[in-house]
A and B are shown apart, each in its own frame.
Chain A
Amino acid sequence: MSSPASTPSRRRGKRGRGSNPPTPQDARSPPSQKRRTDDSTSTGDLQPMPTSPPADAQSPGAADALFSSPPQFRHSAIPLDFDISSPLTYGTPSSRVEGTPRSGVRGTPVRQRPDLGSVRKARQVDLHSDGPAEDIVATEQSLGQRLVIWGTDVNVASCKEKFQRFLQRFIDPLDKEDEDIGLDLNEPRYMQRLQEINMVGEPFLNVNCDHLRSFDENLYRQLICYPQEVIPTFDMAANEIFFDRYPDSILEHQIQVRPYNALKTRNMRNLNPEDIDQLITISGMVIRSSQLIPEMQEAFFRCQVCAFTTRVEIDRGRIAEPSVCKNCNTTHSMALIHNRSMFSDKQMIKLQESPEDMPAGQTPHTVALFAHNDLVDKVQPGDRVNVTGIYRAVPIRVNPRVSSVNAVYKTHIDVIHYRKTDSKRLHCIDEETEQKRFTEERVEMLKELSKKADIYDRLALALAPSIYEHEDIKKGILLQLFGGSRKDFTHTGRGNFRAEINILLCGDPGTSKSQLLQYVHNLVPRGQYTSGKGSSAVGLTAYVMKDPETRQLVLQTGALVLSDNGICCIDEFDKMNESTRSVLHEVMEQQTLSIAKAGIICQLNARTSILAAANPVESQWNPKKTTIENIQLPHTLLSRFDLIFLMLDPRDEAYDRRLARHLVSLYYQSEEQMEEEYMDMAVLRDYIAYARGYVNPRLGEEASQALIEAYVDMRKIGSGKGMVSAYPRQLESLIRLAEAHAKVRFSEKVETIDVEEAKRLHREALKQSATDPRTGIVDISILTTGMSTTARKRKEELAQALRKLIQSKGKTPSLKYQQLLDDLRAQSETAITKEMFEEALRALADEDFLTVTGKTVRLL
């Protein structure tokens, strides 16, 4: 089985030379060699001939594992893809994983990394004639430290040493990642990771390439350019350190290093032939994943006649079935034994570039990924992932019948590391990607811009320039785009504080409300646009449906969930039906969405700002009515909007004139002028993204005072007239607005000017929407209770008047309903409707003063 004799025959040096960059191709060797656990090939020992005596003899445990306890090896008993005959192993056998000391002794088997070398088979095409001689010469000439891997400038020993130094010494206290919980940032980061591996037993070491780059630029470059050679070296280095430290540790297999966050490429569109065989990181969305493909690595044949067994490797996707049994010379007697053949897991995944990366007017690109072993089934369609892997190009197989070849290569990426940008991590990831997205100059430019005194006005002007005036509304939307700071009060039991600002626009039809919504929807990366008319509750939230392919129930998310961390624009808010609207209650305050459907009960994050537009019920805004009466929305919902703006058609000559000029200019302005403004939109987008990602203002002392004062003032206004004009919700709104305004200035601290502007805007919005049309006084209770305080007071007065009237009638047990109404009408100077009268009666009935039965009123 593990006959070492077979090894020399395999040393054909099956390797091809890639077009760019040339890499040595490893051929295959029997598994026994892969699992060679020869202690003599320990670190530093350079053994030119790796054909050592049967190693299994020294590690019976491992041998047992291979043959008697397959479960332990169901993944790992895969031949390693490093050929002993490769110059790599020749020069530095210890640099290969199989050479790791003690691995076999301690029962930690080596595991093949198909992610690093699956291209090999295709590459070795028709090159059998090239003897290994030259390569051996090339590498054997210098067995010392100057030895490099053929075709690269990688010196295995120094590379390993550098990486070990990196692992042992790398400290970056500033760089905090979300997985770093429990890590001491002042200690070497990766040593702590190794400790974690020892405790958890997951033998994967994720290495951030950014760290490596800051530690050793050259090593990083080598990793990017020759991942196929460098990563195994890293593996080995990591294993050496690990088993030095934790000699008793037993892992499922040896540690595999998984680098991620290579800066090579961010965008799928930038991939080009130069990236072939290099380590790249791209982001995208999984659109399709194949079934698990058991890829046969080695076929096991047994002779039907004499039971002689033999193993045959897969060569270019084909198995060369032995036609003659070597033992008994019977022809066609060898049969494939599936159970004893070796397979590795593989999965094909299609990744599509994320919608944000797509240039306008083009269709998205896709790229094929191959995931191996552990990484199989790690991602589902719809997931957004950052993939680190090796980019491959494979020529389409030569057709045996036709002499010509299809001149096109097939490309794919062998996945080494996935990083899901899922909802849990979304916040952190966003920051990270944002960081990468902005170039230094851009950041400088944005910062420069933020220092301008009038930045707030400038940005407000840049917002939807085609919509005329409505400056305060634009400012409000601008603050909404920036949002407040996210606060976490979970430990005090209140949960998250909403940081998102919700805005409602209402007003006459044709006042470009929809246009504003469309603009915002186009501006923000995660904007959703729905119309209240067409959307149902499920369209907004989520629905459960049967996937046509897998026939499983899947949750399809609606607009609110999709716009998590974005803005959900809802047009025709008033046309929404009751049940749909009720969904919004939870979303707008708790920022979550609970679903209980078809056995799926869950709570989804919906940290979305809502920008809604509503038309008045009577098609034209009635200035004699309150907001509530005009748009007929429940006050419970209205009070959840931080700002409610009225967009009315102002009747003013100067305004008309300016509007006319503005519109006329739209109709002849040249393309260039348009272009300029378009540029502004890009700047605006970046500005907002940067501020959202980086600026997290906190309330300053002064600002807090100012806020308190503002709140107290607001309450005072009302209290003088016996009504409340502010509630804690309004205070929260003020804080959010002030924070957003601080963000506009890129300021880490909320200052008084922010509070001032928040106050002003809030007042403006209130003035427009919460003015009692009867008294002209700003009254927040219109929004919070749906009825102005004056109206309530009037009701009370009427009840008192009625009581007095009844009492004045003396001791009568019952009164006629109509009679009483007439009396009251005669007495009062204002008109009294039947409804008002009934309300007064009801109020008195509540006080147990009287009861109403039919047409008679009885006193109690």
Chain B
Amino acid sequence: MPCVGDWLNSPLSIVQGIFAQNVANSDWEKKVTEYFNEKLKENNATNWVPSLNDVPVHYLKPNSLVKFRCMVQDMFDPEFYMGVYETVDPNTNARVLHFGKYRDVAECGPQQEIDLNSSQTVTSERQTFYCVPVPGESAWVKEISYLTEPAYISASQARVSPSTSYTPSRHKRSYEEDEDMDLHPSKQKEQHMGSGGDIHGCVEPKRLETEASAGHHVIAPNCSPPLDLNFPLPGEKGPACLVKVYENWESFKVNDVLEVFGVLSVDPVLSIVNSEERDSSGLDPMECMDTAEEQRVHSPPASLVPRIHVILAQKLQHINPLLPACLNEEESKTCEFVSNFMAELSPVRAELLGFLTHALLGDSLAAEYLILHLISTVYARRDVLPLGKFAVNLSGCPRSSVFTEHLYRLIQQLVPASFHLRMSIESMNHWRLVPRKDYAANRLVSGLLQLASSTSLLIDETQLEQGQLDPAGVRNVTALGNLITWQKVEYDFNYHRMEFPCNINVLIASEGRSLLPSDCQVHLQPQIIPPNMEEYMSSLLTAVLPSVLNKFRIYLSLLRLLDYSISDEVTKAVEEDFVEMRKNNPESVTADDLHKMLLVARFLSLSAGQTTLSRERWLRAKQLEALRKARLQQQQSVNGNEL
């Protein structure tokens, strides 16, 4: 590959080149983005770019091009920087123009000084986002996005080592490990994984080493208490990043999932400058306008929180690496992929249904509803009403934690991002669900509910004991309720609250009816009671072929993105049906029930790959609802007898 190394390894020199050519006119910035756009469009060039998600920061070359898949956790204030500046050599008085874009530090030669008052100086504006890896991202997403080409690209193109920047990691490996790798080529890849995606389950010696070195940064003398990287979910790892955006930053929102391509900046000078400032802050009131906390948060050591100067950024519709990143119809490749998959949709659905039926202890109705739930997504909002949310309350779950635990593991294997919220009095009282603005540090302190769009949230109520919620607990439960009913989270800004719309699939597992609201309650009727739940559930996953599992994943991610419509004809039929139902028994069917039925019908059609509602599907939806309701009534009467 000619000159790939160039724009990958030293993008700034390319920018410098373009800048030098176009100093006179101001559109050099446009030319730069155009250039990189072109480069990245070339066949799979995006795969050449090393990803911060996979490769630890210290293996990446500073000032090289990197990509990062992340969620915008917080937005800092815009900053003004020297877009163009001039340096002067005090001896020769020679003046040179430089660009400050894509850089943190205004560079100048050893014998030069920056002329801060030059008339050539251009002040520009850029926006900083604090980005974290997508919270709750499943291990398989990381694995696949690192190991394989996107599935829709033919496997013939062998993967080439992403860039020279990663090679140092090999040199660092010990001799035995190298030998080891030669023997097990497959393990080599795992090693890559281990060193990059720290979330990978198995702990290997290699990983410990990298972690130790990462830990070393944390205990660096400059910041004695470890910096809270502000991940929404506990136990998350991976780099947090300060992403500097130069264009269209208004279009990005908090909690958006982005893929950014940009220049990695880990200049140690950044940390030094900051520590300097802190030293002198007592002397100079000009500099102490930010508190020490704010300093720490807004300019953390670059080794811990690297900076990325964005050249290209795009919002991601989904993070499933098995699907093409952008599902627009223009691209023939995408179309082909979609139509190919649609062709084999029904066997996949049948298999998935079977799989989930086993997982739900042989209850096929619940499995059906689970599929509907997993492909549901908020597709629109009508004034305040979110449309397309389908929060399911799976009641009648066995009280042992084993079942929900394994159910979660299973869901985790299917969806790209998920979180298991184990509700208990203790946890509700102590957890911070709702993000809160910390004015001292001037940042948004994340909470569990700051999740990216289409994250699956499994709320486990089975472990809930009797007890009293304190005010914080009540607030947390209210927040969960709001999330389910309105699909929004009210972030706490101390003086006021702000609503952030979200799109989170909530599945509530409970013994009886959940204390949280839900769109529909499905009572689990186990057909099999396995003697050893643990064994039974874990054997389920191992029984599924990886290729089949991948199909499930594609299935669930793809169907969410399909469009849907109802023809006039069917509308009429539905109307008739509704009127008829009401005539017989107005108490039994309300507007709410119609809502539910329409929802079920929508997802039922989509799950079969149909984008319009047919009469049969409508009847089937009605039938499902009737079955579900009958079950609930039965359950109620049973409970009533017990009492």
Contacts and interface: CB of A to CB of B under 8 A. Distances in A.
Interface in A320-372: 346, 348, 350, 352, 355, 358-368, 370
Given A125-B116, A398-B114, A317 B85 contact: no
B114 A405 contact: yes
Given A16-B117, A126-B113, A355-B498, A402 B591 contact: no
Contact of B289 (A126, A348, A395, A464): A348
Interface stretch (B36-44, B376-384, B505-513, B519-527): B376-384
Contacts of B500: 361
Given A273-B123, A399-B273, A661 B75 contact: no
Interface in B555-575: 564-566, 571, 574-575
A123 B117 CA distance: 8
A162 interface: no
Interface string A286-297: 011010010100
A363 B444 contact: yes
A738 B598 CA distance: 41
A601 B175 CA distance: 77
B250 interface: yes
A678 B602 CA distance: 24
A447 to B, nearest CB: 25
Does more than half of chain B's interface fall in helix, strand or loop, or is it mixed? mixed
Contact of B383 (A287, A464, A660, A668): A464
Contacts of A285: 495-496
A462 to B, nearest CB: 10
B152 to A, nearest CB: 26
Contacts of B250: 359, 362
B118 to A, nearest CB: 8
A567 to B, nearest CB: 14
Given A350-B439, A359-B250, A534-B478, A653 B82 contact: no
B344 interface: no
B77 A365 contact: yes
Interface string A105-133: 00000000000001001110111000000
B318 interface: no
A667 B566 contact: yes
Which of B273, B478, B565, B566 has the most chain A CB atoms closer than 10 A to its own CB? B273
A346 to B, nearest CB: 6
B318 to A, nearest CB: 18
A402 B591 CA distance: 70
Which of B104, B286, B440, B613 has the most chain A CB atoms closer than 10 A to its own CB? B286
Contacts of A397: 277, 284, 287
A126 B116 CA distance: 9
Contacts of B591: 468, 510-512, 649, 659, 663
Given A16-B116, A293-B285, A396-B273, A674 B380 contact: yes
B590 to A, nearest CB: 6
Contacts of B109: 403
Contacts of B385: 466, 515, 666
Contacts of A370: 289
B272 to A, nearest CB: 6
B383 A466 contact: yes
Contact of A362 (B75, B383, B595): B75
Interface stretch (A1-9, A17-25, A763-771): A17-25
B382 A465 contact: yes
Contact of B104 (A346, A358, A406): A406
Given A285-B495, A403-B112, A19 B254 contact: no
B269 A404 contact: yes
A651 interface: yes
Interface stretch (B230-238, B539-547, B577-585): B577-585
A126 B115 CA distance: 8
A276 B124 CA distance: 11
Contact of A407 (B81, B253, B289, B577): B81
A199 interface: no
B96 interface: no
B79 interface: yes
A473 interface: no
B529 to A, nearest CB: 36
Contact of A406 (B105, B119, B599): B105
A671 interface: yes
5 contacts: A127-B117, A362-B75, A401-B276, A404-B269, A661-B571
Interface of A: 16-20, 22, 118, 121-123, 125-127, 271-273, 276, 285, 287-288, 290, 293, 295, 316-318, 346, 348, 350, 352, 355, 358-368, 370, 381-382, 393-399, 401-412, 464-466, 468, 510-512, 515, 518-519, 521-522, 531, 534, 649, 651, 653, 656-657, 659-661, 663-669, 671, 674, 677-678, 681
Given A273-B125, A666-B382, 4 more contacts: A355-B493, A395-B82, A663-B598, A681-B383
The 7 closest A-B pairs by CB, nearest first: A361-B253, A317-B284, A466-B382, A660-B578, A407-B106, A273-B123, A19-B121
